[in-house]
Amino acid sequence: MELQKNKIAVLTNKSYDKCETFIKAQLDLLPFKIVHYWGAQLPFNLARSKQSFVKKILYKLRVKKKESSIGLLTTEFINNKIEIVFAHYGMVGAKILPVCKLLNLPLIVHFHGHDAVRKTVLKEFESVYLEMFHYPKAVIISVSHEMTKRLIKLGCPNEKIYYNPYGPNSQFVNIVPEFSKIQFVSIGRFVEKKAPHLTILAFKNVVDKFPEAKFVFAGDGLLLDSCIDLTIALGLQNNILFTGRITADKFCSYLSESLAYVQHSIEAQDGDMEGTPVSILEASGAGLPVISTIHAGIPDVILNGETGLLCHEHDINTMAKNMLSLIENPILAKTLGRKGKIRVSELYSMDKHISNMIKIINTAILLK
């Protein structure tokens, strides 16, 4: 892929090593001259400059006492000959908007999930979002059809929104699942919107009928200890394994031997929601059926009865029945998984994701 000539400032709220996998993929694979700025507030830190695929320039941007953050970053962009700004998360886009206006630069804002729905975020940024949406050189990226609806409701013109969900890394697509264990697997942060406690309650119904069934939970988070307590209270200590954080290779290993991937995503009390969960794309791309909920971008990827089994949020009885149906009918599990692998390969590959992103960036460049 030939390196594009345009110089892009990519802004994230965290340093490269702490960024989500889907953001790292873009930083690594987009064929542009990328300068990576990161931090919670302006003027950010200049953490990584990519003049080629391998070259990295590391240094820290020093804040001058008498110069405003906006002024400092404006000067930095001018000196660095930045031609376009790409902000990850709506809040970062809102913070960089004044600089883009001053320099008349195109601004791409990539929404991912909570930035479009969480009540506290909207209370703080909704008016700035509206200003950002109507900036003539703004381009907005959505990762689910539900998110697109939410952004339109916030006042974003439909024609400014580009739908581009993530893609799984090739190591997941290369998995050939064995379906060797009566085991389910899930990975992610233990937070309310992923509702691991509801998954545990559903799994209890499964163990009542199949005492040998196992469940692997990978990840950590605020609800982890509560979920461990719930597991003990339900007498499931021998059925549920909490691994903590694991590597992608270890996740692949669990996927290859499990019967299905399970995630009971819900809209949290504070309004937080998923975008399109990468773990679901990875599991389906690996060839496992996905048992989940009708939530955010999940039904965009997982077709109920064709590539997985979906239920409504909080419906633990149906989720339990879906898990039981795959234990009782492993041929169905293999059929759903095979169709899911084909669907992800055709519609949600990493190559397609990056190709769409290049088209979106080139569209924004024309707004210069």
Q: At what angle do helices 69-79 and 90-103 cross, to 10 degrees?
A: 70
Query: Is there a domain that residue 288 lies in?
Result: yes
Q: Does 164 have pLDDT greater than 90?
A: yes
- Give me the pLDDT at residue 56, please: 37
Query: Is there a domain that residue 1 lies in?
Result: no
pLDDT range class, residue 59, cuts 50, 70, 90: very low
Q: Are residues 233 and 121 in the same domain?
A: no
Per-residue b or e along 120-155, where b marks 16 or more CB atoms closer than 10 Å to that residue's CB: ebbeebeebbeebbebebbbbbbbbebbbebbeebe
Q: Are residues 194 and 340 in the same domain?
A: yes
Q: Are residues 154 and 181 in the same domain?
A: no
pLDDT tens digit string along 88-134?
999 999 999 999 999 999 999 999 999 999 999 999 999 999 999 99
Mean pLDDT score of the chain, rounded to an integer? 92
Domain range for 260 is 170-347
Q: Are residues 354 and 309 in the same domain?
A: no
Q: Are residues 341 and 250 in the same domain?
A: yes
Give the pTM.
0.92
Q: Give the domain CATH number at 328.
A: 3.40.50.2000
Mean pLDDT of 67-86: 88
Q: Are residues 186 and 332 in the same domain?
A: yes
Q: Are residues 207 and 110 in the same domain?
A: no
| Least confident segment among 5-14, 194-203, 234-243, 265-274 | 5-14
Q: Are residues 149 and 55 in the same domain?
A: yes
Distance CA 226, CA 306 (A): 34
Identify the CA nearest to 348 among candidates 279, 288, 301. Answer: 301
Residue 108's identity, in one-letter code, is: I
Q: Are residues 150 and 180 in the same domain?
A: no
Q: Does 242 have pLDDT greater than 70?
A: yes
pLDDT tens digit string along 184-229?
999 999 999 999 999 999 999 999 999 999 999 999 999 999 999 9
Query: Is there a domain that residue 336 lies in?
Result: yes
- Give me the pLDDT at residue 41, please: 76
pLDDT tens digit string along 288-311?
999 999 999 999 999 999 999 999
Q: Are residues 187 and 316 in the same domain?
A: yes
